[in-house]
Amino acid sequence: MSTAVLESYPTAEFDIPSDISAEFGAREEGNHAVFTIGQKTFRLDKEKARARMAGKRVINGERSAELNVLPLKYHEAYRIYKQMKANHWEPDVIDMTKDCNQWNSDALSPKERWIVEMGVGYFSAAEGIVGDSVLHVIEDNLTAAELKHASLRQIAEESIHMDSLLHIIGSLNIDIDEVTAKFQDIPSIRKKNAFITRHMPELKRGMDLTQTVDKQKFAKAIFGITQVMEGTQFYALFAMILSIHRQNKMTGIGQMFQYTLRDESNHIALGRYLLEQLVKENPDIWTPEFREELVAFMAEGVELEKEFVRDCLPEDAVGMSLGEFLSYVDYNADRRLASLGLPTLSNVKENPFLWLDEVIFLKKEKNFFETRVTEYQTSGSVQNASEDDLI
Ligand code: MN
Ligand code: FE
């Protein structure tokens, strides 16, 4: 995907090609547009398909209760949806026996125990905040079916992530009320959550998306949830848990966090794509002042995140350097900003945790279902990730 496309969009006009084959990659047969995707052939009434295509917008488009994604306009959203589906996993089949034994012995240092507790405490709240905000603020305002479809899949994945935390809490026999109460008292967590949810009650009450100011609020919410929170504020603690996992400790939790992190990379990609398409269709959003507002919002998110990182790891521990985690925050913030054509905030150009990218990438090669019960695996649901194969 092009990364700097948001900088200049000359027009909000929509092309409605007169040539249906160019529009859908379809061939015309009388009144039908016929197109073949993978193994399947679809016949759509040509005029209805054309009208449906013309009504598709990120916001303020035609709404259809049927959520019919065809004909596809936003191909990248559908590709991300397919990727998300191919990465499907289930928390409760992950074996926690070893984690449980380690948790109840002296296998972990006090610093490592604290990080695991912070991981459970923070993400128990954070996954719910993301799911709730995507549902009520983002998905609800999208109008094109394939965008809603991808967004709904994200909401389902946030539920899986919440479920994975319950699996951890239940397996380790952690007192859930104690964990929640403890974490409500940690200022850096409270501040992080309050910062992200600051405008959500107002946005949930409804926006007038014909007005530039409300379109900007909507764009900022997508940016805040997917680029600042999921894309920046999730990663340092993920990296700490996976550093512990790398030392062969709490490997069940580590595995779940690997799968979660892999899911988050799709949520970040979807958020970026939604923003790109939204701005392409509504260039009035992307003023210099608004771009500055987004960068300032990220800067605030980075400050709060660094405070949180210091709470998680007050000093270096075995295999973990505080300085590297702080650099990782800068590195992630900057790559989210750069991917949207926005100016970066720091001088950190190198990823301090190349091993982490490798871990996530390797896990992408390995399918969750290969070594597990596969009764609900259907043919084509797992191996194929491309839009062509899967429709
Ligand atoms: Mn999540
Ligand atoms: Fe997410």
Residue pLDDT, tens place only, 218-258: 999 999 999 999 999 999 999 999 999 999 999 999 999 99
Ligand nearest to the CA of 229: 2
CATH classification (class only), 76-390 = mainly alpha
Ligand nearest to the CA of 163: 1
Residue 323: closest CA among 198, 239, 216: 239
The residues of the chain scoring below 70 in pLDDT are 1-25, 36-38, 361-391
Rounded CA-CA distance 55/74 in Å is: 13
> How far away, in angstroms, is 162 Cα from ligand 1 center?
8
* Ligand closest in space to the Cα of 123: 1
Question: What pLDDT is attached to residue 382?
Answer: 39
- Closest ligand to Cα 154: 2
Ligand at shortest distance from the CA of 159? 1
Q: What is the CA(129)–ligand 1 centre distance, in A? A: 9
**Taking the model in full, what pTM does it have?**
0.88
pLDDT in tens, 146-175: 999 999 999 999 999 999 999 999 999 888
User: What is the C-alpha separation between 340 and 334, in angstroms, rounded?
Assistant: 10
Amino acid letter for position 81: Y
What are the domain boundaries of the chain? 76-390
Helix (H, G, I), strand (E, B) or coil at 164: helix
Closest ligand to C-alpha of residue 127 is 1
Q: How far does the centroid of ligand 1 lie from the alpha carbon of residue 160, in Å?
A: 8
Ligand 1 centre distance from Cα of residue 164 (Å) = 10
| Residue that the structure tokens 């900088």 belong to | 7
